[in-house]
Structure formats: structure tokens, C-alpha cells
Amino acid sequence: MKLTAHDIARMIDLSTVRARDNENRVRDLAAAAARHQCILATALTSHIPLLVDLLAGEPDVGVGGNIAFPSGSGTTRIKLAEAEALLDMGCDELDMVMDLGRFRSGRYGDVEDEIRAVVETAGDRPVKVIVECHWLTDDEIRRACEICLNAEPAFIKTGTGWTPTGATPENVALIKSCVGDAIRIKASGGIRGLETLVAMYRLGARRFGLGLGHEVAIFEELAARPGGAVDV
């Protein structure tokens, strides 16, 4: 099987979600997402209205919003309000950070209920749950997968990209072994080139979170390959 540049673009969530990112950065994000026809572009909450406007003429490029980013520590009430606000702004998908503090305190039922509430609020819009693998043991990753299987988000996401490590072959493979095909996997953090993306794909990831600019090397590598495609 081969993946073309278009195939890969339709699995890339392109983002600019650093605290220092300004509106010019968001304009660059929209232009890059449109140029490559990425499936999604995402920015911090205050920049979402601008991003929606910039992508209004690109029906195939969605806009994603982030809930409780990057710590996951807001109250459920605030997270639901944030989800509603992002949907009202025009977001097509939501990425929410799991409450790591409550999770690591053993309050698994509360974490599950919160995720389920956001999923219900989103309706037919996909929700991705960021479990921030960097801070979790393998057993905790397994428990987070179990919670997600019960709460039924569309995706489990490896991380925010704000931690020292992001997606690794080990955590992608572990998540896949836990959820099978019941929930899709988004690998995010540390994906800088085509080889890494393809390795994650082979392990089961079907979405890839890339910071703005990191997509350049991937598409350049693809363009240099015969037929502009890669075997997977």
C-alpha cells in the first residue's frame, strides 16, 4: 500500500498552539493548511474566530479547538462551557486534555464522566482525548485507554506537544493493543519527518499532530520520492 501527499495531508492536524503565537502565526497556519489541504488546523481558543474566518473558503480544511489546554485541570463546568463556546465559534473537532491530576489521584470515575460529558456536548463533532503519555506509566496508559473505551471519544491522542517527549513507537503500540479499532489514535509531539510519521502509521496511528513548519520536511521528502508516495 502507498500513501500519497494528499493521503497524508488528510491525516494531519496542523497547529500553532504555543502561548507566544500571535495572529500573524495563525495567518501562516491557515495558509499552510490550505496549501497542503490538511484535514484540520488548530490554534489556541482566542485565535479560533480568526482561523475560522481565514479558512472560510476552504471547505475541506476543518478547524479544531482545544479544551483545558495544556494541563487538563479546569473544572468540568468550565470544560463544558469551553466546548460549547468552541463549537459556537465554528470548530469542527475538539481536542480535550484529560484531567491528569484527578486521573493520577485515582479518581477514574470522575475522569470518565467528564470525558463522556464533553463527548455528549460535541454531538457529531469528533472529540480527541489527550492522555499526555509522557507523564504516565504503561499501566496508567492502559487505564486511560479503558476510560476512553467507556466514554467513547473518537480518538485517543498521545500528548499536547508541550512535554519533553510526545508520541513514541512504544506508546502508540501500547494504545493500539488496548483499543484495537474501537477508537482511533492521534500521534502528537515529536513528529518531525516522514520516517517517523510512517512508523507511527504502521503501528496504528491515523491522525498526526504537527506544529506549523514541521509539515514542510514531510512534504518535501514525499515530493522527492518516485510518484510522490511512500510504502506503508
Catalytic residue (choose from 79, 95, 99, 128):
95
Instruction: Indicate the pairing of strand 2-4 with strand 229-231.
Output: antiparallel
For residue 186, indicate whether it is catalytic: yes
For residue 28, indicate whether it is catalytic: no
Query: For the purposes of burial, counting CB atoms within 10 Å of the CB of 37, is it exposed (0-12), middle (13-18) or buried (19 or more)?
Result: middle
Catalytic residue (choose from 79, 128, 157, 176):
157
Amino acid at 104: R
For residue 124, indicate whether it is catalytic: no
Amino acid at 80: L
CB 155 within 8 A of CB 188: no
For the annotated catalytic residues, the residue numbers are 95, 157, 186
